[in-house]
Structure 1
């Protein structure tokens, strides 16, 4: 990535009520988004900005881990990341006050556990989100 610049384009179209559709000229799939049900007028069962924010941190960790693992030649079977974001009210407005990631890595060689832990730490430090 060095000194290259990258752009990511996202378009949002209001659908109705508190629901919109995210799209990108760079991607095929669209994502329906809405106010989360914890807020007035919120909608159940649809991705919210809060879900997307937490998922951006989680997916950044995963993709960064995979890149570092490949570079470090760490062989692993699978990685899953459970993420929780906490919203709290500070100075009269809601903020994402905490995001907790719980990665679960499957490796077949126990001798690589320490190396895998170091790579997870590096991924957390290197993730740009």
Structure 2
């Protein structure tokens, strides 16, 4: 029988003014300003919103999961970027983020590794713990390119 493990992630949020607050964690160095997104009344331009952070959590979980699986699988890659788009709608009369599309762009050197790279991208989306923890549909639209040899 395996032992149940728990990991805690503490975040503190302090309201500053209007619709703006600051997030911190005693375990992290950065302060992140958060605000109501500009699409809503009183929203603020240019500051991370909970909606941005939600999409970012899926995207960053995908990236960290991919890099772990790639390392374990000995897949060498030159570059990875993960553009992500979240769609918020009120189809049910209440706003929800109904869909997140991850569009990872992976550059590898060895064309023979393209199928392996695609499998690892797909596996990363499948096992990402954030994706497994949410109701939002996550779509994967990967692109794999071969690095130009100099």
Say yes or no: TM over 0.5.
Answer: yes
1:105 aligns with 2:131: no
Q: What is the rounded CA distance, in whole Å, between the counterparts of 1:63 and 1:44 in structure 2?
A: 29
TM-score normalized with structure 1 length? 0.96
User: Can you list the C-alpha shifts for 1:90-122, whole angstroms capped at 9, x where unaligned?
Assistant: 332100010000000010110000000000111
Counterpart of 2:21 in 1: which secondary structure? strand
| Unpaired segments ≥5 residues, structure 2 | 131-150
| Unpaired segments ≥5 residues, structure 1 | none
TM-score normalized with structure 2 length? 0.83
Q: What is the rounded CA distance, in whole Å, between the counterparts of 1:3 and 1:108 in structure 2?
A: 40
Stretches of 4+ aligned residues off by more than 2 angstroms: none
Q: What is the rounded CA distance, in whole Å, between the counterparts of 1:26 and 1:92 in structure 2?
A: 38
Superposition deviation, residue 5 in structure 1: 1.4
Residue 63 (structure 2) aligns with: 62
Residue 22 (structure 2) aligns with: 21
Counterpart of 2:10 in 1: which secondary structure? coil
Residue 34 (structure 1) aligns with: 35
Q: CA RMSD in A?
A: 1.0
Q: What is the rounded CA distance, in whole Å, between the counterparts of 2:99 and 2:6 in structure 1?
A: 29
